[in-house]
Structure 1
């Protein structure tokens, strides 16, 4: 059997973080199997396994089939070794969830917000909800390994600070990680909400897909890009900002970003609601529009399909540029999936080359509104369970 080349031949518990990477696939293995996989000495593997067992990151998982004598014990990654809080914040809604270390949601709370009230009000509510979820699940504060937050605007991922977010007055350059970190006592990672939706959808439903685009259509429009199986943020974290690409029929329609003719200005939920109102049809808001379209209202369904066509023109360019295998569409307006997707598919399949669309799937999100919180948790999990972070945690525990 070939060895795993990334594992270094160092001795002792050093290298336990690298060994853990083998176990994150969830497959139970014996110590003997780990020795064969890594090519490392029995004593080296033993020290690393013992360190991971002491930290609770590995746990016994039954016995392997016996080849004579006592059956060898199996070990597996322990997803209950800690918990993560993931928060998906939109312009008017929030979903906060508590997950295990596999990103499985164990408790959640949804509530209405107004993102324009500013960071203190919104983030204090998130922190209170997180504490309530921990308490309700019977988990201690020291079991919280991290918090992930998705925001509906551009974010400098390295600092977790929003950058000139169009619909978030008072949030520009606000230190979100410090605010939440002080309130919950755990590391905090922040990203754009649609990036995290892409990460969550990919981790949950399309783990084996290398190239994927997740499109959120709600108050705004944005995309998260999975390239080579990893989230692609771009140089400054602005990759996938589809909402402010010029729309084919955008004309001089003003946009919240200060420009005119943006895709968001003509194809977002509020834009479609406004267009219908000008025709004497008052859907109220995006939720009302979705209900009208789903109930068979021809004008609403037609307007949503037109929005899908506008989005499709922009996505056709993305397909030619990125050649994804899957385009998943989520967000509030995507709940009228039949009409919206019909418009998107019509244009993308009609405008893009057959080579790029022959096996392309354009589908509704399959995570039932949980892509954002799962992605937020996945972002944290990938960080805290990386080899480097596990090594740091074990070293700190040993020193303490």
Structure 2
């Protein structure tokens, strides 16, 4: 394997905080796509061409940017195109659900290198689940011809509340054994890289938002074993003061007396979540074990499963109608294990349009996820990339060990 560019050049002198802000701004312009030449960067940032060139040369020496002739010219020298260097390092991503997990590895530019998926039981606890995640990470690194020292960041989503600043799981209703567990403590000794942790639905929301253009306000609703919502406001994920924003599965709905995993009675999740649907179908004599079985039965046309999903969609739609009135998004995206069911999305759409205010639905679109089961890892990779290219992330790159 060719050595990483970080090993090919001596580490530059430590950048000053103000310089790191400028370097980050330039890199984020390149990562976003439109700014692909030095002239583009000068126009986008308002910096002098000479200043841009000085910083671009610095980033090239550090192996973070690449610059290539694009072969197209309107006269004179061919312009050079800038891009994030795919050889700069690796991003590792994990999207952990209650019963399913997906892993992905990508280069700094976000291009996929490898992926893994598996049925899991999140209730087996952090040591068991994260050991499988780490084994998958090691396999993907080997598959991509990379080493642990090449890892620039790890991003992980989990199906429960997370204190984002510390990566600590906080009293998760469906994650027994995880309360107060700090996930970065497991991975940091293995990779010596920043470890970012978020609620899985937040990462899915980020992934779906990245798959679209021009959407500033969006809700992403995951309907799996549980129910959660990721909120995009002003083009950015909204976590709230403590990371609890979007936990709609525990909103109480009228006429529901089921006891929820959180300990309260009447939660939306206890009536309309995939776990609740599986339990109800079992009581009625249908052979199901989890939300995946419910989805498969519905896809096969089983009337009991389809009716259960239809009722659930109406309940979810009613809650989302209130959120549409409150947040006024232009887009609601439905994902998760049950999203493939056509009557789930149709029922949610009907519930929203039937109960939300006319002004709130005037420009509203309700649709199924475009990314499917890759939305979480796509969002995790983007979250990690943004951190790596931030001033703090760039400062941390100077401390990474060189690869041989």
**TM-score, normalised with respect to structure 1:** 0.90
**Contact (CA 8 Å) 1:201, 1:375: kept in 2 or not?**
yes
Cα drift, residue 394 of structure 1: 5.4
Using a 3 Å threshold, how does the CA distance of structure 1 residues 16 and 274 change in structure 2: closer, same or farther?
Answer: closer
Is residue 2:348 matched to residue 1:348? no
Q: Does 1:232 align with 2:238?
A: yes
CA contact (8 A) 2:103 2:137 kept: yes
- What's the offset of the Cα at 1:358? 2.2
- Give distance in 2, aligned partners of 1:314 and 1:60: 50
- Is 1:107 the counterpart of 2:114? The answer is yes
Pair 1:248-2:254 in alignment = yes
Partner of 2:7: none
Return the match for 1:147 from 147, 154, 167: 154
Alignment of 1:83-98 (within 5 A): 83-98=90-105
Q: Does structure 1 retain, via aligned residues, the 8 Å contact 2:314–2:348?
A: yes
Secondary structure of 2:94's match? strand
Report Cα offsets for 1:24-69 as digits up to 9, x if no partner: 2234644345445545445432321111111222212324755654
Two-structure CA RMSD over aligned residues (Å): 2.4
Provide the rounded CA distance (Å) in 1 between the counterparts of 2:250 and 2:29.
41
Between the aligned partners of 1:215 and 1:113, the Cα distance in structure 2 is 22
- Measure how far apart 1:242 and its partner are: 0.8
Q: Which of 301, 318, 322 in structure 2 is aligned with 1:296?
A: 301
Q: Which residue of 2 aligns with 1:6?
A: none
Range with greater deviation from structure 2 (26-35 or 355-364): 26-35
**TM-score, normalization: structure 2?**
0.89
Q: Counterpart in 1 of 2:338?
A: 333
Q: How much does 1:177 deviate?
A: 0.3
Which one of the candidate residues 361, 370, 374 is aligned to 2:374? Answer: 370
Q: How many aligned positions are there?
A: 386
Question: In the TM superposition, what is the alpha-carbon distance from 1:266 to its structure 2 partner?
Answer: 0.6
Give distance in 2, aligned partners of 1:296 and 1:11.
60
Contact 1:210 1:226 in 2 (8 A): yes
Match of 2:214 among 204, 208, 212: 208
More divergent stretch after superposition (28-37 vs 147-156): 28-37
Q: Does structure 1 conserve the Cα–Cα contact (< 8 Å) formed by 2:223 and 2:335?
A: yes
Deviation, 1:388, is 4.3
In 1, Cα distance between equivalents of 2:379 and 2:327: 22
User: How far apart, CA to CA, are the structure 1 residues paired with 2:19 and 2:302?
Assistant: 68
Counterpart pick for 1:45 among 52, 70, 74: 52
Deviation, structure 1 residue 100: 2.2
Query: Structure 1 residues 282, 51: CA separation in 2 closer, same or farther (over 3 Å shift)?
Result: same
The 8 Å contact of residues 12 and 44 in structure 1, kept in 2 or not, is answered as no
Change in CA separation of 1:221 and 1:63 when aligned onto 2, cut-off 3 Å: closer
**Are the aligned partners of 1:86 and 1:373 in contact in 2 as well (CA < 8 Å)?**
yes
Aligned-partner SS, 2:66:
strand
| Aligned residue number for residue 26 of structure 1 | 33
Check if 1:268 corresponds to 2:279: no
Deviations 1:195-214 (A, max 9, x none): 111111111x2242100111
User: Contact (CA 8 Å) 1:26, 1:77: kept in 2 or not?
Assistant: no
